[in-house]
Structure 1
Amino acid sequence: MMSAVRRLGSIAMMAGALMLASCSSGGEEAAEPKTSFKIGWSIYAGWMPWPYAEQAGIVKKWADKYGIEIQIVQVNDYVESVTQYAAGQLDGVTVANMDALTIPAAQGHDTTAIIVGDYSNGNDGVLLKGSDQLSAIKGRQVNLVELSVSHYLLARALEKEGLALTDVRTVNTADADIASAFTSPQVTAAVAWNPQLTTMMQQPDAHLVFSSKDIPGEILDLLVVDTKAVEANPNLGKALAGIWYETLALMEQQNEAGAKARAAMAELAGTTPAMFDSQLATTFLYVDPKAAVEATRSPTLIENMTRVRDFSFAQGLFGQGASSADAIGMAFPGGKTLGDTNNITLRFDDSFMQMAADGAL
């Protein structure tokens, strides 16, 4: 079964976030020009274009064009992929926006999101038994992966209902166990992501009362790279953008070639084409680079990242050295910033996506 474990990274910050007070990007030396790069990925519907592109020769095509070598490296555990990147073992990695903030950025690893790939559009949801009304969650025990995007989704759901996290009691449940836990009569509320979410919805009297579709654009999936590396080697960003958008254009084709590409991605993910397509249906892919650029430049991105960082700080994910939600600075297109401008360690750069939109790669 395909595993969508891209949202576990925040848990790793229970130890890693403590580095915030002592780590600073200012102490790092400038990256030197180089020609070989490693990009890490883990299994998730929105990231399967990367290994497929390598398999299909698209990675080599674009890397050769820019005179570089790109290795697309699978890391079986999502947490490990992000921590390897944060430790400098990878030049880039596929990551959710919250985890980009709470792992590498919080550790002082200056990180740039060069591709805003998709947002969860129903891949994450809140389930209740016995009621189809979100308000019925008050006072219940809620099973979920604590300090993950599921926890964030629950907080947003409660907020929209005029409730707070204190109105429920969360029970930390591993993603591998949550579907089986939901079969118990004692478990009447849970938050999960696909494919587990789809399985859990088949339980008698299970109701989807809130999903990521209700907060579009807040749970983003990104390709991030080391800021100094891409500044010293802009051809890396150009090649990665070329790879990404050529592969998306292929997989979106409603013909034999598109179906073949999606089937190959499903096989790489260890699932069936039908299951893969069902997960793509609840994943809003920014297939058109113009749409990705627009989303990255929109004030909505700053609003959403404000919510994400406020939640992360409130849950202690910035570490003991963080005195406020402003501890970590973020930069956005147009010179806009959020948080400490003297400690900007997460950046959203639309320049390579714009090159793709302009046909300038």
Structure 2
Amino acid sequence: MSSLDELHLTEEPSFEELQNQIRTLTNLRNTHQATLLSLRSTKSLKDHISTVSASSSQTKTPISSSLQISDKNLNDILLTRSAELSKDHQEWTQEALSRMTGLSKFTVTDPSSSRDLTGIRIEVMADGKFGTPYYLFLKPYDETPKPTPEDPSPEEVPSTTHLILHRHTIPAYFIQPLNVLAEKHLPPPPQMQNLDRFVRDVRHFLVLHYLRRSRLTHIKDEVTQNLPDLNSDSDDAHTPNIYVSEFLMDPEARLVEIHWLDINDIHSSIKRQAWIALTEKGGIEGLIVKEDNQRILHMEMQIKGDDWVRGTTDSMDWTSGLFKRLRWPSHPL
């Protein structure tokens, strides 16, 4: 026997080494299996596994101290879970792409007619948080010819170039501007349509609405967090005698109503109220502050802020620090 053969024989692993390698690989496989299985609800997995294991008479392979399952069923579950994880990843990727672009287009089937609809997904975001997406569904314009004596029931002819708004998830208080934009940018044939402009204009007023609502909701939360505890006997030096008791806004976030109360006289007949009308961009369109039906001009100026003459109130910038400016002064300025 040559020295090369001897060297080759001496480098082959021993039986004990092979057993150790097999045990190591088996433990590694079991660890990965347990990790995959734990990616979903552990309880539902154990329930499913115990049901499958009870009906199987095959040899059991231990996965963990509390989990027993057959090799065949284990492979089936791992394949199923892998497919689910892959599908979840694809859905997550699609969700991320939709949010990155702000607008996305897709095709769905109308269950009532089995025809394809054009779907538009619109994303809105404020303060780094995404809101609930809105959806528009458009169907082909109906170009079916009118019935005639020769053809009383003409075959339906969907347009290949023109669309019409079919369904949507836009709030009801935006129906009027939505219909106006649809009439403007999606006219019937033979006029040209501009779907891109229609979708972008719709997204524009939805984003502005979300920004207004987000800013006003933040102020409303400040008001709620700073309401005095009227049942407490302790005096809070930080609570003004006259405090903001209510901060209300309409669904469009275009009208704000504010109420003040005197902490020392909750049931007082004196009414202190303010109304703020907002523009689409969130600026102040109108502002009235009254105390017993008398207009309080110094409070109106205080709410607007010091920079209102520089155009700050033309956008949402005026809302910065608004809660502090809502403090009712003890004496007129």
Shorter-chain TM-score tier = under 0.3
Q: TM-score, normalised by structure 1?
A: 0.18
Bigger Rg, which one: 2
Q: Which has the higher helix share?
A: 1
Q: TM-score, normalised by structure 2?
A: 0.19
Q: Which has the higher strand share?
A: 2
